[in-house]
Amino acid sequence: KILITGACGQLGSELTSELRRIHGNHQVVASDISEPNERLGEGPFEYLDVTDESSIKKIVDQYDIKIIYHLAALLSAKAEKNIYLGWKLNVNGLLNVLEVAKEKSLEKVFWPSSIAVFGPDAKKINTPQNSACNPTTVYGISKLAGEQWCAYYHRKFGVDVRSLRYPGLIGYKAMPGGGTTDYAVDIYHKAIKEETFECFLEKDTKLPMMYMRDAVKATITLMNAPPDKISIRTSYNISAISFSPEEIAESIKRKISRFEIQYKPDHRQDIAASWPDSIDDSKAREDWKWKPGYNLEKMTDDILKHLPEFWDLEVPDTV
Ligand code: VAH
């Protein structure tokens, strides 16, 4: 069976529904520290605080878990506001999962890293896989440390843990979760509700992004790849799109002509400014044939089409 931690999050909720679609509802145990929302659909749910190793072991034994997708974490903006919890949850939580994977000889573990491991000294355009990583955020520091722990548990104990450095992930099935890139999630909700969108980043701040459907595809493709194809055991760069708030607003205006955006940069501008504009993901393309399916136009079309029905909202007449 499969266990997903952080299943109520933006990625967690979409990965849970896709893995249940593939394997069957009862093969996938969703877990989170928050209450399950009905969008998670049918299937087993457990309350789980990943900072308590014994609780993870209990669920692994109870459901005979063989694979863990460990997604529970504090995202960048939230971790800057609560630096000790950011470290404790993001790193101790991962260590607990790796320790359980080693003790119980689990088949595989997935763990998300992030482009947040890169700092202001990294090449801004097409940041390479082996770039220097000097993150300036707690979130980035925790992800960089986590990558090294994954490589250590693979090298020393043979744990088959695999990881992706996700760019900003944009989906419509969960509300923004405290990420710096989450302006690009919220913007669609405001556009559909025909509210003016206040953007907390400067209009020309380009960031590496990816539609959630591509992120789920990349995750499952990586997890299905034969182990000998995996040449990176810290975490793979992957990329799909790179856009600024101005560019995503333009892609929305082409569909909802009355959509308005205002720019009111806040503390999150400094976080975004420390990250790359775009990422070189050639290793992922070589090793396990990574290829994104959505560009900005296709993502905007798909989200504006599905978001209203998912959240039971009126569709603006211009969509
Ligand atoms: C965040 N969505 O903003 C996450 C992601 C690259 C950004 O790691 O914190």
What number does the ligand 1 atom closest to the CA of 143 have?
8
pLDDT at 319: 57
What number does the ligand 1 atom closest to the CA of 167 have?
6
Q: Give the residues surrounding ligand 1 with Cβ less than 6 Å away.
A: 75-76, 114-116, 139, 167-169, 179-181
Q: How far apart are the CA of 318 and the centre of ligand 1, in A?
A: 31
Please name the amino acid found at residue 259: F
Whether the CB-CB separation of 56 and 96 falls below 8 Å is answered with yes
What number does the ligand 1 atom closest to the CA of 181 have?
3
What is d(CA 128, CA 161) in angstroms, rounded to the nearest whole number?
Answer: 22
Pocket test for ligand 1, best of 74, 82, 114 (most atoms within 8 A of CB): 114
- Kind plus residue range of the DSSP H or E element containing 69: strand 67-70
Whether the CB-CB separation of 40 and 103 falls below 8 Å is answered with no
Q: What is the ipTM of this complex?
A: 0.95
Sorted by sequence, the CB contacts under 8 Å of residue 233 that are 6+ apart come out as 150, 151, 154, 155, 161, 162, 163
Q: How far apart are the CA of 203 and the centre of ligand 1, in A?
A: 18
Q: Whose CA is nearest to atom 7 of ligand 1?
A: 168
Whether the CB-CB separation of 157 and 105 falls below 8 Å is answered with no
What is d(CA 92, CA 315) in angstroms, rounded to the nearest whole number?
Answer: 44
Q: How far apart are the CA of 75 and the centre of ligand 1, in A?
A: 6
Pocket test for ligand 1, best of 82, 111, 164, 180 (most atoms within 8 A of CB): 180
- One pLDDT digit (tens) per residue for the chain, 319 residues: 999 999 999 999 999 999 999 999 999 999 999 988 777 889 999 999 999 999 999 999 999 999 999 999 999 999 999 999 999 999 999 999 999 999 999 999 999 999 999 999 999 999 999 999 999 999 999 999 999 999 999 999 999 999 999 999 999 988 888 899 999 999 999 999 999 999 999 999 999 999 999 999 999 999 999 999 999 999 999 999 999 999 999 999 999 999 999 999 999 999 999 999 999 999 999 999 999 999 999 999 999 999 999 999 988 776 5
DSSP labels for 177-238? Answer: -S-GGGHHHHHHHHHHTTPPEEESS-TT--EEEEEHHHHHHHHHHHHHS-GGG---SS-EE-
The closest alpha carbon to 110, from 8, 208, 289, 230, belongs to 230
Q: How far apart are the CA of 77 and the centre of ligand 1, in A?
A: 8
The closest alpha carbon to 32, from 12, 67, 7, 58, belongs to 7
- Kind plus residue range of the DSSP H or E element containing 246: helix 245-253
How many CA atoms does the CB half-sphere of 193 hold within 13 Å?
10
What is d(CA 265, CA 245) in angstroms, rounded to the nearest whole number?
Answer: 11
DSSP labels for 248-307? Answer: HHHHHHTTSTT--EEE---THHHHHHTS-S-B--HHHHHHH-------HHHHHHHHHHHH
pLDDT at 16: 96
What number does the ligand 1 atom closest to the CA of 112 have?
8
Q: How far apart are the CA of 309 and the centre of ligand 1, in A?
A: 26
Q: Is 139 one of the catalytic residues?
A: yes
Whether the CB-CB separation of 15 and 69 falls below 8 Å is answered with yes
Angle between helices 296-310 and 245-253 (to 10 degrees): 70
**Four-CA torsion 304, 308, 313, 314, nearest 10 degrees:** 60
pLDDT at 1: 97
Whether the CB-CB separation of 153 and 159 falls below 8 Å is answered with yes
The closest alpha carbon to 32, from 55, 66, 65, 54, belongs to 55
pLDDT at 314: 85
pLDDT at 318: 65
